[in-house]
Amino acid sequence: MTTQPAKPPLFDKIALIGIGLIGGSIALEARKRGLAKTIVSATRSAETAALANRLKLTDHCGTDLAEACKDADLVIVCTPVGACGAATKTIAPALKPGCILSDVGSVKQTVIADMVPHVPAGVHFVPAHPVAGTENSGPEAALLDLFEGRWCILTPLPDSDAAAVAKLEAFWKGLGSQVERIDPKDHDRILAITSHLPHLIAYTIVGTADDLGGHLNSEVLKFAAGGFRDFTRIAASDPTMWRDVFLNNREAVLEVLQRFQEDLFYLQRAIRWGEGDKLFDLFTRTREIRRALIHLHQA
Ligand code: NAP
């Protein structure tokens, strides 16, 4: 039996700026799959850096963001969306010419607008968003297989270097993802309905239940069944991350929220007037959507 020669790593050195759920999971997976010779990270607080080092997520984690990026071939900013611009400004002087700079932000247009002004000439910026996650955050939330079979959306800019885009695509495929390239504006509109609005609804429902007050409060928690329990899981998502998502995808979220409210009023009216056929028709249509999702292996 002939053995395949081991493939050389895609990158000599990867630097991750921010080492929570997403940064940590990239680190674990990239190491397991041999995608880089060296993986380092840097984060804002000494506590998080110490935790990341204790968990051995990367070869080293420090608090000097620029220092971590020296000689890196790939730098991925893995901070909350609202911190991407400032982090890029800090690391810019340390970025090596020819290196690929990327991010993982859940919103693309504002992150691009915040990062682009700081990207030095000769550095290839390719924005990205892995559509995979959990409600947990911080280094301890990092896990293997997070990206397996999940989409990673690249939103290259019109002047993005084609070779850099192809290499980042190979990296995300190497982590187990499927990759698609989408226009940043389309990305933000799609994610507004598929991810951001559902989170807003979950935060609202759990808040409303909590506001019921009195003895109902504890009863709600006691009898929390499937639907409500799922909402509480989503509503446990990181407050900083989600505050930043809503503030940065304001326009698209407000647009889908408007449409959602109209559709909710339609259902409210149907319930009030006993129009069961309207309810039945919608619930039948949505059941088909769920079945189609299962067919696409996205549920
Ligand atoms: P996380 O677990 O909370 O980790 C965030 C990391 O960024 C931590 O290391 C944190 O460091 C660091 N950080 C925060 N503010 C910073 C600042 N101002 N300057 C430098 N570092 C800072 O977050 P995450 O879930 O990995 O999310 C990271 C990014 O991935 C976000 O942009 C999010 O939109 C995107 N994303 C998240 C998910 C998800 O499901 N969670 C999915 C896809 C994409 P300290 O602890 O030291 O402050």
Q: 164-222: per-residue pLDDT in tens? A: 999 999 999 999 999 999 999 999 999 999 999 999 999 999 998 888 877 777 777 77
Tokens of 205: 């429902």
Domain final position from 182, 204, 221: 182
Q: Which of 182, 202, 232 is the last residue of a domain?
A: 182
Condensed to tens digits (0 to 9), the pLDDT of residues 216-274 reads 777 777 777 778 888 999 999 999 999 999 999 999 999 999 999 999 999 999 999 99
Indicate whether 55 pLDDT > 90.
yes
Same domain? 149 vs 213 = no
Please identify, by atom number, the ligand 1 atom nearest to the C-alpha of residue 24.
26
Residues 98 and 216 both lie in one domain? no
Which residue of 17, 25, 44 sits with most ligand 1 atoms within 8 Å of its CB, as the best mutation to test the pocket?
44
Write out residues with Cβ below 6 Å of ligand 1: 18-23, 43-45, 48, 78-81, 83, 87, 104-106, 129-130, 133, 137-138, 141, 238, 241
pLDDT recorded at residue 223: 77
Q: What percent of the chain has pLDDT over 70?
A: 97
Cα 21 to ligand 1 centroid, rounded to whole Å: 7
Structural domain boundaries, residue 48: 11-182
Structure confidence by residue, pLDDT tens digits, 76-115:
999 999 999 999 999 999 999 999 999 999 999 999 999 9
Spell out a b/e string for 155-168, using b for 16 or more CB atoms within 10 Å of the CB, else e.
bbeeebbeebbebb
The set of residues, in sequence order, having a beta carbon less than 8 Å from that of 203 and lying 6+ positions away, is 234, 235, 242
Whether residue 94 contacts residue 123, with contact meaning beta carbons closer than 8 Å, is answered with no
* Range with lowest mean pLDDT among 154-158, 167-171, 288-292: 288-292
